[in-house]
Amino acid sequence: MAYEDPEGVLLRQSDLLENISTFVVHGISDNDGNTQIDGLLFKRTYSLVLTQDCDLEQDFAARFGSEVAEDKKLFGMILCGVYPEDLIKAGAHKPKAQKFSSKEWKVVARNGVPRYQYLGYVPHAEQKLVADFKDYFVVPGDFLYQALQNEENEAHRLASIQTPYREYIMQRFAGYLMRIGLPTQFHHLSEATT
């Protein structure tokens, strides 16, 4: 992978973000006309922007340009969680996550597992990172830009992934979303024939 320092304030497809907070809703209740939302504010150490560049550019122009085109604004930006290699390998990035043997990890590191994108060593983070496509989420655009522009906030754009690697990541994410869920017995049959 080839990484570069992010330029400007426009979010780009495959930007690596640091310290982005998200709100996880656990429940919504209505007590006598007062709506209450129960949830948790969760800070993600690293996340990767998965929204297409053309949509991000139109959204940015609609938010910060001279002419506001409400129909070009995105409700939210799609991101996915990114974790240190050691956490994913040990199955420690999520509760009850799969642990990988050295042999299994070699397949992940070659991007042979659709769920994960191995990012390798990221100089800006000073460690090897892996994106987990199953851990995708949406952050409202207003909230995300506000967090990134607030100098008192820890949130910032850490690095940008250069082309053609960013397009490769987007193709892999699209492939992950398009996969067909097959019955468990099919997986056992396919393993027996290899």
Say which residue, 159 or 193, is predicted with more confidence. Answer: 159
Mean pLDDT of 152-166: 91
**Best CA proximity match to 120, nearest among 179, 52, 168:** 168
User: What is d(CA 113, CA 97) in angstroms, rounded to the nearest whole number?
Assistant: 15
pLDDT, tens only, 67-93: 777 888 899 999 999 999 999 999 999
Q: How far apart are CA 96 and CA 92, in angstroms?
A: 8
Is the pLDDT reported for residue 193 higher than 70?
no
**Rounded to two decimals, what is the model's pTM?**
0.86
Between 83 and 28, residue with greater pLDDT: 83
Tens of pLDDT, residue by residue over 110-147, are: 999 999 999 999 999 999 999 999 999 999 999 999 99
pLDDT exceeds 80 at position 16: yes
- Quote the DSSP letter at residue 9: S
| pLDDT on residue 187 | 54
Percentage, residues of the chain above pLDDT 90: 63
- Name the band, by pLDDT with cuts 50, 70 and 90, for residue 185: low
pLDDT for 192 equals 52
Give the neighbor-by-neighbor strand order of the sheet with 34-49: 3-4, 156-161, 15-31, 34-49, 76-84, 127-140, 116-122
Residue 66 pLDDT exceeds 80: no
Beta-carbon neighbour count of residue 146 at 10 Å? Answer: 12
CA 10/CA 26 separation, integer angstroms:
31
pLDDT, position 188: 52
pLDDT at 34: 84
Which residues lie below 8 Å from residue 102, measured CB to CB, with a gap of 6+?
A: none
pLDDT at 21 exceeding the cut of 90? no
**What percent of the chain lies above the pLDDT cut of 70?**
93
Q: In CATH, which of 2.30.30.110, 1.10.10.10, 3.40.50.1390, 3.40.640.10 is domain 3-192? A: 2.30.30.110
The per-residue pLDDT for 32 is: 80
